Structure 1
Amino acid sequence: MTQTRTTVPGQSCPEQDLPVEAQAPMDWQGKVLKGRYRIASLLGSGGMSDVYRATDLHLEEAGAKDAQVAVKILRSELTRDGNALGLLAKEAAKSKCLAHPNIIRVYDLDHDGDVWFMVMELLEGEPLSKVIQRAKPQGLKWKGAKAVLDQIIQALAYSHQRGIVHADLKPSNIFVTRQGSIKILDFGVAQALRPGHQEDFLNQSLGDETTVYGYTPAYASTSLIAGKEPQVEDDLYALACVSYELLSSRHPFDRQRLDEQQRKAFKLARPGNMPGRLWGCFRRLLKEEARRPSLAEIEKTTRPLPWAHLIYPLVVAAALGSAFYAWQQGGKEVAAAREELKAQSDHQAALAELSSRPVTQLLAGLGGFSPLERAGLLMSNRDRIIDHFGQKVDEALKAPARADLPNFPAAAKVLVEALSYFPNDDSLRTLEAQLNQRRLGLYNALAEELRARLVQGDFGSQGAVDELTGLKADLLFLGKQLPALGDQAITTYKGQMSAAIDQDDAPAIARLLAIGETFYGQEQGAADTIKAAKQQESAIAALANYDKAVAEGGTADYPVDAAEAFYARKIGVWNDGIAAAKDGQALDAVFEAEKAFAATLPVDLPSLKALRHNLANAYISQANDLIAHRRVVAAAPLMQRANELMSD
């Protein structure tokens, strides 16, 4: 697509300012810039850059709920021009200083190799130009337009106080968010672009909003067109054009390219929806008269007259008197007008009364008004609402939940409520990021403490177990899941559990099992150990219940299965000793140990019978070896032991 370059009367068109063939946007989707910004999708394209939706990976890692940003990637035509790039960097630095709810935030200008990009606040909504198109042919009513103009005026006042002029204010540079807030785009950046480079993402059809020499002719004063340095008055001229168009759906000069004399001779008509006091200011601006109003004067004309509340009852009385007279004359339709007038009066009074209430009552009463009225109430009370939620966040952090820990979940709930009213507020988003960083820092510190304790393996008392359980509760409170424990912690746990099982240490097994189920349940390396410990604990409990019943003089069936499970390791060691025995003495050691152990049991276990069978076979095998070597006398005791075992 060839970018259109519009010439201005009396303006030369040097060779270097000729149209530039725009390149198709590169496919950046899925790529990561500077190791931080992962590109998701294309939002719009201008002559010198493309704007993408992206994820700030640093914010995402910190746990921020909203890590979405807009990334404007500059085309190579601009980055190859050192002067233009330097100007853009300077203006971007200015824009970063503009922290106002009605100005889009510019977070950074950076580069990744040869690729230069600007990181900005991500907006959801539509440009004001689309709102104007939908309002054709009469334009917006004053009440709706005022909510828009008030926010534009606040943004300009804030910027001008800091010495920054926009110089390219137009409907496509004014964004209306889904919540009804106004955001002005490209603040202080338009003048950094080289002549002939248009930058218009929200009005891709272009038409009469073609940017020339860093400004848009339809909204540029004669001073800007003449190439003079941008001044505050240039923004006010553009504001007058935008306001006229907003209230009438028409440009004041029908987008004609007029010189100074033609502009002054042009017959301007007041839009029907524009108050007369405001029109007096804007007419002087559009005609570029010597004595032009300031932004403060313009803002004053948008407010109700201080004596309007005194005049209004007289107007109402006159209207009611006329209605009564007309009713007497048979004009009953006036009664309906009277009721409508009263309803409007009551509605305005309700708006004013709600705005004066405490914040909690103000927010509770928003549901009774239209979306635009709600947006106006929120914006006019923004500072005290933000302060209200800031205090609630502080109170929530102190609310008791976990000893010695700030109540981050409660504070997060407060922030969710606040962001439902002001989703793009910088102060709320900053507070959210700070709370997430604090929460993540505490979580990481406690996670390191937990790992260190598990590696040390201090599980020797119930107090130590209780402290570990408390650490777990703190971590789940802060992060909703436990951290990975690491191989060293698993090795320590398995070693202690194996030792406890070998020693039949029931209290230690119980403590370690509680720790294992609390911290190692999801760790594969400890699963077999925990399973064996559960079997051992179950067997211990069954045997303890039997011993208790006997001690109390009762009767009970001996838990053979539990005993088999409990003594399996011991009997397994004896079977291993039989298999490894090299002589009769080794077999005798197993024989004596088994005999003494069996005497302590009230029943003969199947596993012990099988062990004695293995032991008898081992005696016979060794006796046969001795007989084969003609050592009959030495073989006799072995055969005797084998016969004794076989007879049991």
Structure 2
Amino acid sequence: MENTISPDNDDKTVISKKGINLEINQKASNLIGKCFSQRYLIESQIGAGGMSDVYRAVDLTLKDAGIEDAFVAIKVLQKQFSEMKDAQKILINEALQTQKLSHPNIIRVYDIKSDGNYHFMVMEWLDGESLDQVINSSKPVGTPFVKTKKIIDQIGSALNYAHQEGLIHTDLKPSNIFLTRKGNIKIFDFGVSKLLNEDEDNEYVLQNNDQDTALNGHTPAYASFEQLNGDSPTQQDDVFSFACIIYELLSSKHPYKRTAANKVNKSSFTLVKPKNISLSHWSVLKRGLAINKAERLNTIDELVTPFSSKVSTKILAGALLLAVVGYSANAFYQQSTEIEKLTSTISEYDQETKTFNSYGSLPASEFLAKADEIKESNFLIAQALFRQHHDELITLYDEKIQNAPKLSNNKFKDYAKVNTILAEAFTYYPDSFRLKEIQKQQETSRETTINAIVEKLDQLLIQGRYSEAGDNNIKNLFSDLSLLLLPGEEYVATEKAFALFQRKFNLAIDKKDFKTLDELIRVGDIAFYNYPEADKVIASSKKMASAVNALAKYAADYKKSPENAVYPHEEATLFYKKEINDMSEELSKARNYNAYIAVGRKINRFAQQFPKDFQPIIDLKRQEASDFFAYSNRLMEIRSFIRAKNLINRGNAILKELDGE
């Protein structure tokens, strides 16, 4: 997020390119009510900077998921910069640089996106106020020292971490630092940050020399002498900016009255000590504010440590000794309890130091193995060690992932195990850019493997190659695929593949091709079980398989012992349903004597394979007799008495047979 909306343009970061001044004073576009990427609904504008405006937005995806606090901050390039590649580059650089930094006091950047001509960055929503608001609200006496120390500790921790990662902020100022309602500091706006030892980018040059106009991505009131002169960035640049901020917090005034460092008259200007700090603290802060680099503190640690809320053990022990020597005998006895408390405190600090040093000397792998144990005994030490071992532990997790075990088929990496390793790593480093890259690489590898298997399966099923072996064995391919798919993922065959399966299935039923039918049942069970229209086909195929098995068993039993074999009536009814229905339809369509005689003979031959009590055949024969009688009446009407008598005799014979006479 950027500066709070204000008519005052002091201290804005302005980046100028050759021949183009990017500080264009135009009224910000009204984006309230606009929805970016069909997800981020803009609610209100909360900030404005030199190139971008910041809005509060509702993340509709999170809101739909039932999350109450579904707010994000959206940083949008102003309209006049939306088509400038350099402006887009700065926004992208800010997102990428910030995503690389995983620290509780550095703002989280979720994504960088475009929607039409709008280019924007999605960040975590912060509820609170920027440090320039804190400073303004504390005028004229400054922020209390105790509150300032807590702020210093957090800013120092974040800057130390960024410097360890090789990144210099280069534009540190109160408006780029946020204090949440819970007292947590968040640093943002890494759009013009620089890598240590990075060659100067000659693309950006000085455009104007106004007192509070940014130069090369710096804000003059907070930029070091070296930055203003165009030197390569160093940690001492951030030290100077941070020292200016500390001074402003303590006094609510700028140490150099907002004069740029390269314009300060060092021979006549005298820094004034803030009233609410000690001389020892002031001596350190002055060294942070030194115009000359040679006189300035080298690191953030050197600036922050004296302000730390913890008193060093040596200082505390010295103070205790002086107190003891200065007391009279009576005072000593009266204060013995206090001395014991101080001694106990010293002992505790000594123990913490020893504990930290002992754990800190452990190799990253051993520390990780004891991480939970350390967190339980001393959470703060554990957090410090996780920061100390950041790069080593990320590398260790990367190695674990690269060496993850193979799946049971010994072909592919166990991606479920990989996800478990990543989940553990993200608990320690939730915003690690490197971890996210590793996760993306592993997911890409898994998806590539899955796509290769799916393409092969689609080809085999579309071509009806159900019985191939080796690398083209469908059952083995599905087995491999099941090992790679995560919960909620599944394979769905193409419509073309399913249509071919249906045709082959119906043809196998018609031909009573038991071998093909059995093969289709197996394929359908693994390839089409989840297909939207496959339920009936699969259910029918399984019933047919059961019928085939029952009839085969009956045939085997009958061959061994005819009197003990039990005919499977239900299964036979299913299996022969089509043939019986076809013959019933032929009877219904017969229109002459010869047709009836032909159908009757066909039924007689077909019926010989069934027991006499097989109901579908009984029903078919009763229909045959009834149709014979009906047509014989028609023959008698046309005086074809011989043929009529023949059909009547055939019909009576059928009925006698059915009645057991």
- Give yes or no for TM over 0.5: yes
Match of 1:533 in 2: 541
Contact 1:359 1:385 in 2 (8 A): no
Match of 1:470 in 2: 476
Moved more, 177-186 or 233-242: 177-186
Q: State the alpha-carbon separation in 2 of the partners of residues 536 and 515 from structure 1.
A: 15
Tell me: CA distance 1:559–1:255, structure 2 relative to 1, closer, same or farther (3 Å).
farther
Q: State the alpha-carbon separation in 2 of the partners of residues 532 and 471 from structure 1.
A: 25
Match of 1:566 in 2: 575
Q: State the alpha-carbon separation in 2 of the partners of residues 517 and 596 from structure 1.
A: 36
Cα deviation for residue 240 of structure 1 reads 0.8
Tell me: CA distance 1:613–1:546, structure 2 relative to 1, closer, same or farther (3 Å).
same
Identify which of 402, 406, 411 aligns with 1:404.
411
1:242 to 2:245 alignment: yes
Contact 1:327 1:335 in 2 (8 A): no
1:88 to 2:87 alignment: yes
Identify which of 251, 270, 275 aligns with 1:265.
270
Tell me: CA distance 1:489–1:194, structure 2 relative to 1, closer, same or farther (3 Å).
farther
SS of the equivalent of 1:46 reads strand
Question: Counterpart of 2:632 in structure 1: which amino acid?
Answer: A
Match of 1:11 in 2: none
Cα deviation for residue 43 of structure 1 reads 8.3
Match of 1:425 in 2: 432
Question: Counterpart of 1:339 in structure 2: which amino acid?
Answer: S
Question: Counterpart of 1:348 in structure 2: which amino acid?
Answer: T
State the percentage of identical aligned residues: 17
Match of 2:119 in 1: 117
Match of 1:64 in 2: none
Calculate the aligned-residue CA RMSD, in Å.
5.1
Cα deviation for residue 428 of structure 1 reads 0.6
SS of the equivalent of 1:265 reads coil
Tell me: CA distance 1:23–1:496, structure 2 relative to 1, closer, same or farther (3 Å).
closer
Contact 1:244 1:250 in 2 (8 A): yes
Cα deviation for residue 402 of structure 1 reads 3.6
Cα deviation for residue 575 of structure 1 reads 0.8
Moved more, 384-393 or 511-520: 511-520
Moved more, 312-321 or 47-56: 312-321
Contact 1:2 1:21 in 2 (8 A): no
Cα deviation for residue 313 of structure 1 reads 11
Moved more, 569-578 or 496-505: 496-505
Contact 2:287 2:297 in 1 (8 A): no
Q: State the alpha-carbon separation in 2 of the partners of residues 274 and 626 from structure 1.
A: 132
Tell me: CA distance 1:273–1:196, structure 2 relative to 1, closer, same or farther (3 Å).
same
Match of 2:78 in 1: 75
Q: State the alpha-carbon separation in 1 of the partners of residues 368 and 5 from structure 2.
A: 55
Cα deviation for residue 151 of structure 1 reads 3.3
1:384 to 2:392 alignment: yes
Q: State the alpha-carbon separation in 1 of the partners of residues 174 and 218 from structure 2.
A: 8
Contact 1:320 1:338 in 2 (8 A): no
Contact 2:224 2:240 in 1 (8 A): no
Cα deviation for residue 478 of structure 1 reads 2.2
SS of the equivalent of 1:264 reads coil
Contact 1:539 1:566 in 2 (8 A): yes
Q: State the alpha-carbon separation in 2 of the partners of residues 538 and 569 from structure 1.
A: 17
Q: State the alpha-carbon separation in 2 of the partners of residues 175 and 402 from structure 1.
A: 53
Q: State the alpha-carbon separation in 2 of the partners of residues 171 and 328 from structure 1.
A: 51
Contact 1:264 1:287 in 2 (8 A): no
Match of 1:394 in 2: 402
1:160-193 C-alpha deviation (Å, 9 max, x unpaired): 7xxx772343363468999989654243189999
Q: State the alpha-carbon separation in 2 of the partners of residues 94 and 365 from structure 1.
A: 39
1:334-376 C-alpha deviation (Å, 9 max, x unpaired): 1122112101211122122222222323522441466654433
Identify which of 434, 441, 454 aligns with 1:434.
441
Identify which of 455, 461, 471 aligns with 1:454.
461
Q: State the alpha-carbon separation in 2 of the partners of residues 643 and 586 from structure 1.
A: 19
Contact 1:619 1:638 in 2 (8 A): yes
Q: State the alpha-carbon separation in 2 of the partners of residues 595 and 299 from structure 1.
A: 104
Cα deviation for residue 588 of structure 1 reads 2.8
Match of 1:185 in 2: 189
Contact 1:2 1:20 in 2 (8 A): no
Tell me: CA distance 1:339–1:474, structure 2 relative to 1, closer, same or farther (3 Å).
same
Q: State the alpha-carbon separation in 1 of the partners of residues 125 and 10 from structure 2.
A: 33
Match of 1:39 in 2: 40
Tell me: CA distance 1:591–1:229, structure 2 relative to 1, closer, same or farther (3 Å).
same
Contact 2:359 2:367 in 1 (8 A): no
1:604 to 2:613 alignment: yes
1:518 to 2:526 alignment: yes
Match of 2:354 in 1: 349
Contact 1:402 1:474 in 2 (8 A): yes
- Give the alignment of 1:300-379 within 5 angstroms: 318=321, 329-333=333-337, 334-357=339-362, 358-368=366-376, 373-379=381-387
- Give the alignment of 1:573-584 within 5 angstroms: 573-584=582-593
Tell me: CA distance 1:275–1:376, structure 2 relative to 1, closer, same or farther (3 Å).
farther
SS of the equivalent of 2:403 reads helix
Tell me: CA distance 1:425–1:2, structure 2 relative to 1, closer, same or farther (3 Å).
closer
Q: State the alpha-carbon separation in 1 of the partners of residues 346 and 510 from structure 2.
A: 92
Q: State the alpha-carbon separation in 1 of the partners of residues 328 and 515 from structure 2.
A: 96
Question: Counterpart of 2:174 in structure 1: which amino acid?
Answer: K
Q: State the alpha-carbon separation in 2 of the partners of residues 368 and 621 from structure 1.
A: 95
Match of 1:204 in 2: none
Question: Counterpart of 1:220 in structure 2: which amino acid?
Answer: Y
1:3 to 2:6 alignment: yes
Q: State the alpha-carbon separation in 1 of the partners of residues 480 and 154 from structure 2.
A: 47
1:479 to 2:485 alignment: yes
Match of 1:63 in 2: none
Tell me: CA distance 1:521–1:235, structure 2 relative to 1, closer, same or farther (3 Å).
same
The count of corresponding residues between Structure 1 and Structure 2 is: 595
Match of 1:65 in 2: none
Question: Counterpart of 1:117 in structure 2: which amino acid?
Answer: H
Q: State the alpha-carbon separation in 1 of the partners of residues 322 and 592 from structure 2.
A: 125
- Give the alignment of 1:199-278 within 5 angstroms: 220=222, 232=233, 235-244=238-247, 250-251=251-252, 253=254, 260=264, 264-269=269-274
Cα deviation for residue 443 of structure 1 reads 1.6
Q: State the alpha-carbon separation in 2 of the partners of residues 320 and 478 from structure 1.
A: 70
Question: Counterpart of 1:502 in structure 2: which amino acid?
Answer: D
1:629 to 2:600 alignment: no
Cα deviation for residue 388 of structure 1 reads 1.1
1:585 to 2:580 alignment: no
Q: State the alpha-carbon separation in 2 of the partners of residues 457 and 151 from structure 1.
A: 62
Match of 2:296 in 1: 293
1:378-434 C-alpha deviation (Å, 9 max, x unpaired): 2221111111111111122x4333431121111111111111111111111111111
Contact 1:87 1:192 in 2 (8 A): no
Contact 1:30 1:40 in 2 (8 A): yes
Tell me: CA distance 1:252–1:275, structure 2 relative to 1, closer, same or farther (3 Å).
farther
Match of 1:620 in 2: 629
Contact 1:558 1:603 in 2 (8 A): no
Q: State the alpha-carbon separation in 2 of the partners of residues 502 and 290 from structure 1.
A: 94
Contact 1:3 1:19 in 2 (8 A): no
Q: State the alpha-carbon separation in 2 of the partners of residues 533 and 104 from structure 1.
A: 59
Contact 1:39 1:55 in 2 (8 A): yes
1:504-554 C-alpha deviation (Å, 9 max, x unpaired): 344443432233232322323322222322332333344444444444447
